Amino acid sequence: MSGSEPPPALDLRGLRVSYRNRPVLRGIDLTVGAGEFVVLMGPNGSGKSTLLRAVVGLEGTDAGAVRVFGQEVGRLPPHRRGVVLMGQEPGLFARRSVFANIAYAAGIRGAPEAEVRSQVGRLADRLGITHLLDRRPEEISGGERQRVALARALAARPRVLLLDEPFSALDVTIRADLMADFRSALASAGVAGLHVTHDRAEGLFLGDRVALLFDGRLESVGPPREVFDRPSSPRAARFLGYNVIRDGGRWRAVAPRNAGFAAGSPDGRRGQVVAAGSVGAVGRLVVQLESGERIEIETPRTAPLPAPGTWGSIRWSDAIDLPDPSAEGSP
Amino acid sequence: MTPRWLAVGATLPLLGFLLAFVVVPVSGIVASAFPAAGTLSGWATLFADPLNRDALGNSLVQGGLSAGASVLVGYPVGVFLGRYDWPGRRLLRSLLLLPFLLPSLLVVLGVADLLGPGGLLVGPFPGLGVFGHGLGGIVVVNVAFNAPMVALFTAVGAESASAPLEESLASLGASPGRVYREVWGPPSWWGALAGALLAFLFSALAFAAPLLLAGPAQYTLEDRIWSLDQILLNPHGAALLATLTLAFLAVPTAAYLAVLPRLAASGSRSAPRLGRRTASPIAVLLAGICAVFATAELLLVGAVLYRTVEPAGGRPWGAAWGLLLGPETTRALGLPISGAALNTLAFAAAAAAIALGLALGFVFARSLRPGRPGLLTALTLLPLLISPVMLAFALAEVWEPLLGGPREAWILIVVSQATLGLPFVVQSLSVPLEGLSAAPREAARTLGAGPWTAFTDVDLPRLGRGLTVAGLFAFAFGLGEFTATYFLVTPSFTTLTVAVYRLQGVRLPGVADAAAGLLLVVSAVAIVLSALGGTRVRF
């Protein structure tokens, strides 16, 4: 980094965390630029939440540096880091009104009352919760509580905002709305964000950049399109929704829409349909190959789907070559 | 039979027991006090005696001082236990239950051996002698018993605070002090208050410590009722004072029952979220207090054990054990010490079986009709409102004539031990039951299991640890019970606790300590065996 370049909002270098001598994070290097929104994705148990808790200071670290706009904060207590964590549970005061909950964060900064009122009003308006300000958290819905939690987090004027699966407990019908509102609220506040999720669609939709975390190690940091189009390993490909096929000693990733099934055909890899169904205009098949692998196939519903138990062969196109997992030490 | 009637049927034994052995006898005592209490002259006569006035004052002073000191010691221990993650945390938490399981006389004897005249610590530190007798000694005994309880309640309160709220506020910029004031401090204060109220109740009605470490000038209401009935042969005065005690107990008991629901939703967190901070100066201070406290508790027991083997009166090491088994002790007690040990085990086992049986009926009924604790749950706590001496006095007055006199004293000893242990047994079973998901029970019912089969196949195995703890509580409570037993006992039914007390007044050096040591060994073996057996219980 040159001297004139502004430091990133969040800069993690060689971050290591372990529980009872079991490594959970194995040397994380990651940056989040000013105003940037990075999404960290990975399966359950990969260390995503631990990473956020370590950044905010709720978990101790074994090694590594946590810098916020160039300032090392790794030895500071959570309340002095300027990094706000918003979790799956909103963590609101149950007996205080929505207004008081949002005002609490501004109050901690020591803002004058008039400024607190105006800031709460602005944030409530931006997040569509003005009509809830007099209610208590127990009187509003889960999605509304998350909006309140975000308003409270933004009222603290964080330097970096960390979001730990804030939508995972919510009804799928309100998630899209909430994601869009969250993203625009963060963008207009100009706050850098690091968001973790195990939902690949959510991550690919929200992130300026995405990073994949497996078993405490980062893989494939980059723009969503780039990470999705070029999976870096079989496990990354599986997480991103590809079929992973062993083809003549090579590992290949095949998107479900690029695979097909021909009932009764003896050509290609033989397999048996184990499940078939449709989601709207798309038909879905799950086929078990003779080698034991299971392949998911998406097909336009222009013809009847084969019944479970039907034998046939699968074909594919546009397969992506993957590195051999035995070379990287994990499948 | 509908679940409602099945539930009623399952609780009938418990209701009948409470009615027969608590409500009717105590009402009888109150009724017998009324002819005197209803007139001014009755109260005037009661308060004309300075020892009666002193008993009321002593109960207030000893209860207040002991509760305050228990909070001073127990609160930091509870915070260290509930807020920090450190090696040995679970072990200490288990050990804090020990004072409940150990005989009360043992701690009294430990204080006397350690800090009383000629005590092991008084030689090198003469200033500590003030805590070995009189009010100082009584408060030390009460704190040794009650500070662990305050610590446990505090820890439960601190753990019940919302972790997401606490972590959110910390990351929003709230300082640790502010997080304490606004998030986890208040529930820990409620916990400490609940513990303090119980500490007040137990200390204000302490029996053994004033009896052994002080004298009539420091008697509590409990000691005075015993003294009026058993020494001064004035059952009418005792009944009057017992009625006053009942009123005296009502306020702190009601306050305790009002505070308890605030802790009801606790215990979900198995380890503090904000752990790994044991290097902070506050944590080091709390660890130090914890270590001093644990050491002091161990010293009390250690002093008794040392006295059992110490050479005294020109006799060699361990001579006290020989004396304990010898004819002098048998003459002093009216039966061999082995007989006292057998009585102790038999009474405690019978009392535990009764309490456990009644409590199981109650929790079966609760499993049939889950929901908010109601009147019946409150009734199971009724024995807490009745002090041991009052209960024994009431049982002796009402039931002894019906049973044909003191020859059948063993029945009333067992009943009193079962009654006094009942609230703890019921709580040990019903609190875990309320935490269990109803789904597996409902699944069993839909698969064709009847209510009782679903209870025994699904709920009881999940209550495994609660069942062990409940049985252990009941049994250990019986082993160590002194107050009610001493009131009711006749020589042939002497238990080890009564033997320890009686041997205090016998000129056999170290033999009372040896009896206490035997009681400790019997209790420890019984507790370990029960615990081992309990872990193997399968349904």
pLDDT digits (tens, 9 = 90+) for B301-349: 888 888 888 876 667 777 788 888 888 888 888 899 989 999 999 999 9
**Domain shared by A244 and A200, yes or no:** no
Average pLDDT over residues B143-167: 90
Q: Does B77 score more than 50 pLDDT?
A: yes
Residue A286 lies in a domain: yes
- The string of pLDDT tens digits covering residues B216-237 is 999 999 999 999 988 888 888 8
Is residue A101 a part of any domain in this protein?
yes
Of residues B134 and A291, more confidently modeled = B134
Last residue of a domain, one of A229, A248, A273: A229
Q: Are residues A115 and A144 in the same domain?
A: yes
Co-location of A298 and A193 in the same domain: no
Separation CA A27–CA B82 (nearest Å): 32
pLDDT at residue A312 above 90?
yes
- CATH superfamily, region B1-48+319-539: MetI-like (1.10.3720.10)
Nearest-neighbour CA in chain A from B424: distance (Å): 32
Work out how many domains chain A is built from and give that number.
2
CATH number (domain holding residue A238) = 2.40.50.140
Which residues constitute the domain of residue A34? 10-229
User: Residue B199's pLDDT is what?
Assistant: 94
Last residue of a domain, one of A170, A197, A229: A229
| A79 with B167: Cβ contact below 8 A | no
With respect to residue A44, please indicate whether it lies within any of the assigned structural domains.
Answer: yes
Examine the fold and report which residue of A196, A213, A229 is the final residue of a domain before the chain moves on.
A229
Q: Any residues with CB less than 8 A from the CB of B451 and at least 6 apart, and which?
A: B3, B6, B364, B367, B368, B445
Considering the domain architecture, whether residues A265 and A285 belong to the same structural domain is answered as yes
Chain B CB contacts of A138 under 8 Å are: none
Would you place residue A56 in the very low, low, confident or very high pLDDT band (cuts 50, 70, 90)? very high
| Average pLDDT taken over every residue of chain A | 89
* pLDDT higher than threshold 90 for residue A218: yes
Query: What pLDDT is attached to residue B39?
Result: 65
Partner A contacted by B169 (CB < 8 A): yes
**Residues of chain B above pLDDT 70, percent:** 91
Q: Are residue A281 and residue A191 in the same domain, yes or no?
A: no
A94 and A18 part of one domain: yes
- Cβ of A85 within 8 Å of Cβ of B171? The answer is yes
A162: closest CA of chain B, how far (Å): 10
Instruction: Kindly identify which residue of chain B lies nearest to residue A153, measuring between CA atoms.
Output: B172
**Hunting for tokens 């020494």 — which residue is that?**
B231
Same domain, A155 and A267: no
CA pair distance A247, A241, nearest whole angstrom: 18
pLDDT at B276: 47
For chain B, positions 144-163, list CB contacts with chain A under 8 A.
162
Q: What is the pLDDT of residues B365-423, one digit of tens each?
A: 888 776 666 677 778 878 877 888 889 999 998 888 888 777 778 899 999 999 998 98
Beta-carbon separation of B273 and A89 below 8 A: no
Contact criterion met (CB below 8 Å) for B336 and B330: yes
Judging contacts by C-beta atoms under 8 Å, the chain A residues touching residue B276 are 59-60
| CA–CA gap between residue B331 and residue B457 (Å, rounded) | 52
Structure confidence at residue B40 (pLDDT): 63
C-alpha A8 chain-centroid distance: 20
The mean pLDDT of B84-98, rounded to a whole number, is 80
pLDDT tens for residues B196-223? 999 999 999 999 999 989 989 999 999 9
Would you call B173 and A104 a contact, using CB atoms and an 8 Å cutoff?
A: no
Q: What is the pLDDT of residues B422-467, one digit of tens each?
A: 988 888 887 777 777 778 877 777 777 778 888 888 888 887 777 8
Largest CA distance in chain A: 77
* Residue A28 and residue A105 in one domain: yes
Res B537 pLDDT > 60: no
Residues B73-95: what's their mean pLDDT?
86
Residue A1 lies in a domain: no
Distance from CA of A151 to the nearest CA of B (A): 12
Tokens of B239: 């009944």
Is B453 an 8 Å CB contact of chain A?
A: no
DSSP H or E segment with residue B66: helix B50-83
Nearest residue to B351 via CA among B200, B480, B522: B480
List the structure tokens of B237.
Answer: 């005065």
What is the per-residue pLDDT for B188?
A: 92
Give the length of chain B. 539
A299, part of any domain: yes
- With vertex at residue B306, the alpha carbon angle to CA B300 and CA B308, rounded to the nearest 5 degrees, is 110
Q: What is the pLDDT of residue A233?
A: 92
Contact state of A153 with B174 under an 8 Å Cβ cutoff: no
Tens of pLDDT, residues B22-47: 999 989 888 887 765 556 677 778 88
Residues of chain B positioned with their CB less than 8 A from the CB of A58: 167, 170-171, 273-274
What is the predicted pLDDT for the residue at B80? Answer: 92
ipTM: 0.77
Residue in chain A nearest B176 by alpha carbon: A79
- Do residues A116 and A200 both lie within one domain? yes
Asked if residue A73 and residue A214 are part of one domain, the reply reads: yes
The answer to whether position A46 is within a domain reads yes
Instruction: State which residue of chain A sits closest to B170, comparing Cα positions.
Output: A79
Measured distance CA(B513)–CA(B479) in Å, rounded: 16
On the question of pLDDT at B95 being above 80, the answer is no
Give me the CATH code for the B49-307 domain, please: 1.10.3720.10
- Return the CATH number at A169: 3.40.50.300
Chain A residues with beta carbon closer than 8 angstroms to that of B166: 91
- The domain segmentation of chain B, as residue ranges, is 1-48+319-539, 49-307
Q: Contact A56/B164, CB-based, under 8 Å?
A: no
Domain-located, residue A210: yes
By CA distance, what is A19's nearest residue in B? B276
Q: How many helices (H) and strands (E) does chain B have?
A: 29, 0
Question: Which of B123, B82, B361, B172 minimizes the C-alpha distance to A57?
Answer: B172
Binned at pLDDT 50, 70 and 90, residue B270 comes out as very low
Classify B436 as helix, strand or coil.
coil
H or E element at residue B341: helix B337-368
Token pair belonging to B451: 């209510």
Q: Is B418 exposed, middle or buried (0-12, 13-18, 19+ CB in 10 A)?
A: buried
> For position B274, what pLDDT does the model report?
47
Separation of alpha carbons A328 and A40, rounded Å: 21
Q: What is the DSSP letter of A129?
A: -
Beta-strand relationship, A37-41 and A192-197:
parallel
For A126-160, what is each residue's pLDDT tens digit? 899 999 999 999 999 988 999 999 999 999 999 99
Query: B173–A105: do the CB atoms touch at under 8 Å?
Result: yes
Q: Which residues contact B287 (CB under 8 A, 6 or more apart)?
A: B80, B86, B278
pLDDT of residue B344: 93
Residue (of B121, B124, B143) closest to B132 by Cα position: B121
Task: Please report, rounded to a whole number, the percentage of residues in chain A having pLDDT higher than 90.
Answer: 62
- Residue A5: inside a domain: no
- What pLDDT score does B94 carry? 75
Q: What is the pLDDT of residue B268?
A: 41
Closest residue of A to B174, CA-based? Answer: A79
- pLDDT at res. B269: 44
Q: Are A69 and B149 in contact (CB under 8 A)?
A: no
Task: Judge: B178–A108 Cβ closer than 8 Å, yes or no.
Answer: yes
Whether the per-residue pLDDT at B531 is higher than 70: the answer is: no
**Phi, psi values for residue A239, rounded to 5°:** -60, -35
Question: Residue A172 above 70 pLDDT?
Answer: yes
One domain for residues A206 and A248? no
Same domain, A78 and A98: yes
User: Which residues of chain A lie closer than 8 angstroms to B274, CB-CB?
Assistant: 58
